[in-house]
Amino acid sequence: MPLRKLASMPARQEEMPKISKSRKKTIPNLKHATPQKKDSLVEYVVNVLFKYDPALKKQFSVVTLSTVKLFTSLSYEISVDVQKGKNAIDISILGLNTRQSYYVSPNPATTELLFDDLFGKYSINVIKQDGSINSAMFDFNIYKKEIKLSEISLPKKKNNRIFTRFEVPTESFSFK
């Protein structure tokens, strides 16, 4: 029994253009991007604190990123990309995702980043998708049970603006 020849695809389907894949904006690319000119408006609050997790029985240094605006209809969390270097932590804000919750109350969108090995001076850089960067220098000392905010800076960049407030809420520290 002879094999059938497969019919070739119609000409118009062969000529269909390929849709290009969207490029993921990586942290190094965002650092070199030039943001659009906008007014300085604080949109995010970064809290840095110590937290003890009794379930894991481990001490963490926590960086909490939250929005200033409250959301009333849905619960949101901030989607981020984190890159930890020797003395720097780069946090790229990717967007908002909805959280499954049956009880909704007015809350800001938040995300909590746990680090278990921070000691000494670290620069925390918050980077938006348009390329704006806000930086702060923190000094972590777990033995003295203190975190010091030593410097807030705005890297030299065209159209860079302040969009983040950095805080160290010592009343929220928890230890074993």
Query: What are the domain boundaries of the chain?
Result: 40-172
Is 133:126 a contact under the CB 8 Å cutoff? yes
CA distance 45 to 65: 6
Average pLDDT over residues 5-22: 57
pTM to 2 decimals?
Answer: 0.80
Whether 165 shows a pLDDT value over 90: the answer reads yes
Backbone angles phi, psi at 31, to 5 degrees: -65, -30
Distant-in-sequence, close-in-space partners of 113: CB < 8 Å, separation ≥ 6 = 62, 63, 64, 65, 80, 82, 91
pLDDT attached to residue 11 = 53
CA distance 110 to 77: 5
pLDDT attached to residue 27 = 77
pLDDT attached to residue 176 = 77
CA distance 77 to 73: 13
Whether 39 shows a pLDDT value over 90: the answer reads no
Sheet holding 88-99, edge to edge: 146-153, 133-141, 120-127, 88-99, 75-84, 107-115, 58-71, 44-53, 164-167
Confidence label for 103 from pLDDT (cuts 50, 70 and 90): confident
